[in-house]
C-alpha cells in the first residue's frame, strides 16, 4: 500500500465513557457509554457520512477524532501518526490539519466579534501570517464561501442562518485543513438553504482537496455527498458501506429502518419499497445498553443469539461491513437460531408484511414465525357468510 492509498484517519476500538459521579465524595457510580468500541477509517479525499438517531454518539465520535475530547480507550491515527493521547504541543500541527464545523451557526460565532475577527482567529491562534496579510486572506475566504468581502466589519447578527454557516465554513478553512469534521452542519438551517450549504461544501471539497466526515441525523442530508456511510446505534457502528451498496441493499435491519424513513425521489424505487418501518420504543439508555446486539430490543428479527452474543462488524460483501446475525439481503449468519424473541414479535407488528416477507428470505426465525402464523390462520374456522366479499 502506498502512502496515498493509506487512509487519512484510522480508528480502532475507540471508546468514550463519561463517568457519572454521585454524592459528596463524587464517587463514580456508572458511565455513559457514548462511544463504545468503534473501528473505521476515512480515506483521502472522500466524504464519510455518519448517521444515527439522537444520542447514539455521533458528536462524541466527531469530537474524539478532532481530539477536542480525550478518548477513554482505543487508537486514533491521522496520516499514519498516533494522535490518541497527544498533548497540547503535540496537537498544534494537527489543529491546522483537522477542523470542525458545528451544528449551531447561531451559538458558534461570538456575537461581539466582527466577521473579520472571527474568520481571522485561526491565524492569530496558530501564529500564522498568510501571504498578502490577514485581511486580504479573510476577504478571499469570504468570497470563496459565497459572501462579500465587504462583510468583513459586520457582526454575526446581521446575517441569516445560512450565511452564518458560511462564515463558520470560512473559519474552518482558514488554515487549509486536510480533514473537516462537520457535525450536523445544516440541521439548524431552513430546509431550502440546507442544499445550498451542502453543495458549497461539496464544491469546496473538489477545489481544495478536502476530506470530510459529515455527521447527520438522517440519511437525506448526507445521501448525495457521501462516498461511504457509517450507521451508528447506541455507541456502535452497525453498518459501514459504500453509499450505493447501502442504498441498494442495506444489510443491517436498523439501516433498513432508517432508509425507510427517507423520502425517495426516484419513482421507480418509491413503487418498489415505500414501506416505512416504525421502530418499537425509544433508544435504550447508553448507561446500560442491551446485551448482545444493542438493537435486539427493537429488532423484528431478533433471536436468542442476538440477546446473548454481540455480532462483530464484518465485511460480508466487498465494501460493506455489517454487525448482524440475521442480516437483510444476505445469507443468515445464524440459521440454527430459529425462534424469535418475544420483543421481536412485538416489533414485527409495526413492520409491514412486505418488509417481513423480505426479512424472511434471510432469517430462518422470521420465516418460521411467518409459517406458523399462516398455519394458524388456515386452521381458523371460516366465519364468512356466503356472498360476503
Ligand atoms: N460531556 C458529556 N458528559 C456526559 N454525557 C455526555 C457528554 N456528552 C455527551 N454525553 C452523552 O453521550 C451520549 C451520546 O451523545 P452525543 O452528543 O455524542 O450523541 P449524538 O449522536 O451527537 O446526538 P444528537 O443527534 O442529539 O446530536 C448521550 O447520551 C449524551 O447524553
Ligand atoms: S437480527 Fe439480531 S443481530 Fe441483527 S440487528 Fe436484529 S437483533 Fe441485531
Ligand atoms: Mg450530536
Q: What is the pLDDT of residues 111-133, one digit of tens each?
A: 999 999 999 999 998 899 999 99
The residues near 313 (Cβ < 8 Å, ≥ 6 apart) are: 39, 236, 237, 238, 240, 321, 322, 323
pLDDT at 387: 47
Torsion angles phi and psi, residue 303, rounded to 5: -125, -175
Query: Which residues hold their Cβ within 5 A of ligand 3, which is an ion?
Result: 59
Determine which helix (DSSP H) or strand (DSSP E) holds 374, and give its type and residue range: helix 364-379
Residue 357: its H or E element = helix 353-360
Strands of the sheet with 320-322, listed across from one edge: 98-101, 179-183, 211-216, 47-51, 228-233, 236-242, 320-322, 314-317
pLDDT value of residue 365: 94
286 Cα: distance to centroid of ligand 1 (angstroms): 9
Q: What is the pLDDT of residue 380?
A: 56
Name the closest-CA residue to atom 4, ligand 2.
Answer: 324
Q: Ligand 1 atom closest to Cα of 286?
A: 29
- What ligand has the least distance to the C-alpha of 234? 1
Mutation test residue for ligand 1: of 51, 55, 234, 235, the one with most atoms within 8 Å of CB:
55
Strand ranges for the chain from DSSP E: 9-22, 27-42, 47-51, 73-78, 81-82, 98-101, 179-183, 211-216, 228-233, 236-242, 314-317, 320-322
> Taking CA 62 as the corner, what is the angle to CA 33 and CA 279, rounded to the nearest 5 degrees?
55
Task: For cell 415505500, name the residue.
Answer: 274
pLDDT, tens digit, 9 for 90 and up, residues 180-225: 999 999 988 888 888 889 999 999 999 999 999 999 988 888 888 8
- How far, in Å, CA of 249 to CA of 135, rounded? 50
57 lines ligand 1 (CB under 6 A): yes
Is the minimum distance from the CB of 217 to ligand 1 under 6 angstroms?
yes
The pick from 238, 302, 327, 361 for probing ligand 2's pocket by mutation, whose C-beta has the most ligand atoms within 8 angstroms, reads: 302
Residue 308 parent element (H or E):
helix 304-308
Position 271 scores a pLDDT of 46
- For 342, the enclosing helix (H) or strand (E) is helix 342-348
Q: Whose CA is nearest to atom 27 of ligand 1?
A: 54
Residues in the chain with pLDDT values less than 70: 263-274, 377-389
- Residue 235 contacts residue 288 (beta carbons within 8 Å): no
Q: Where are the domains of the chain?
A: 9-226, 264-377
Atom 25 (ligand 1): residue with closest C-alpha? 54
Residues framing ligand 2 (Cβ under 6 A): 252-253, 293, 295-296, 299, 301-302, 306, 311, 324-326
* Cell numbers representing residue 314 in the block: 464484518
- Look at residue 189 in the predicted model and tell me its pLDDT: 86
Ligand 3 centroid to Cα of residue 246, in Å, is 22
Topology, domain 9-226:
Rossmann fold (3.40.50)
CA 104 to ligand 3 center in whole angstroms? 11
Count CA atoms closer than 13 A to 362's CA, side-chain side.
Answer: 20
Nearest-atom index, ligand 2, CA of 307: 7
Amino acid at each position: 500500500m502506498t502512502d496515498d492509498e493509506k487512509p487519512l484517519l484510522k480508528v480502532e476500538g475507540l471508546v468514550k465513557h463519561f463517568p457519572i459521579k454521585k454524592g459528596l465524595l463524587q464517587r463514580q457510580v456508572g458511565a455513559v457509554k457514548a462511544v463504545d468500541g468503534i473501528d473505521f477509517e476515512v480515506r483521502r479525499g472522500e466524504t464519510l457520512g455518519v448517521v444515527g438517531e439522537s444520542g447514539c454518539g455521533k458528536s462524541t465520535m466527531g469530537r474524539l477524532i478532532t481530539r477536542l475530547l480525550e478518548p477513554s480507550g482505543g487508537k486514533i491515527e491521522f496520516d499514519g501518526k498516533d494522535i490518541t493521547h497527544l498533548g497540547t504541543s503535540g496537537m498544534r500541527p494537527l489543529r491546522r490539519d483537522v477542523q470542525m464545523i458545528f451544528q449551531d451557526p447561531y451559538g458558534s460565532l461570538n456575537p461581539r466579534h466582527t466577521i473579520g475577527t472571527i474568520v481571522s482567529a485561526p491565524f492569530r491562534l496558530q501564529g500564522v501570517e498568510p501571504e498578502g496579510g490577514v485581511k486580504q486572506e479573510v476577504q478571499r475566504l469570504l468570497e470563496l464561501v459565497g459572501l462579500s468581502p465587504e462583510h468583513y466589519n459586520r457582526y454575526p447578527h446581521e446575517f441569516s442562518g445560512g450565511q452564518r454557516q458560511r462564515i463558520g465554513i470560512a473559519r474552518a478553512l482558514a488554515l487549509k485543513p486536510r480533514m473537516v469534521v462537520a457535525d450536523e452542519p445544516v440541521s439548524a438551517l431552513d430546509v431550502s438553504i440546507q442544499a445550498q450549504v451542502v453543495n458549497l461544501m461539496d464544491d469546496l471539497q473538489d477545489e481544495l482537496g478536502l476530506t470530510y466526515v459529515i455527521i447527520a441525523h438522517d440519511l437525506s442530508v448526507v445521501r448525495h455527498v457521501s462516498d461511504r456511510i457509517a450507521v451508528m446505534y447506541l455507541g456502535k457502528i452497525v453498518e459501514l458501506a459504500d453509499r450505493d451498496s447501502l442504498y441498494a441493499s442495506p444489510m443491517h435491519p436498523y439501516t433498513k429502518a432508517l432508509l425507510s424513513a427517507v423520502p425517495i425521489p426516484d419513482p421507480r424505487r418509491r413503487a418498489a419499497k415505500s414501506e416505512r418501518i416504525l421502530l418499537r420504543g425509544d433508544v435504550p439508555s447508553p448507561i446500560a445498553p442491551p446485551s448482545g446486539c444493542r438493537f435486539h430490543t427493537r429488532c423484528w428479527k431478533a433471536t436468542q443469539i442476538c440477546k446473548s452474543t454481540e455480532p462483530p462488524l464484518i465485511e460480508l460483501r466487498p465494501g460493506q461491513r455489517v454487525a448482524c446475525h440475521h442480516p437483510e439481503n444476505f445469507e443468515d449468519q445464524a440459521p440454527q437460531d430459529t425462534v424469535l424473541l418475544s420483543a421481536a414479535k412485538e416489533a414485527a407488528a409495526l413492520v409491514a408484511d412486505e418488509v417481513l416477507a423480505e426479512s424472511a428470505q434471510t432469517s430462518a426465525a422470521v420465516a418460521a414465525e411467518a409459517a406458523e402464523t399462516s398455519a394458524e390462520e388456515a386452521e381458523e374456522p371460516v366465519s364468512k357468510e356466503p356472498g360476503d366479499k
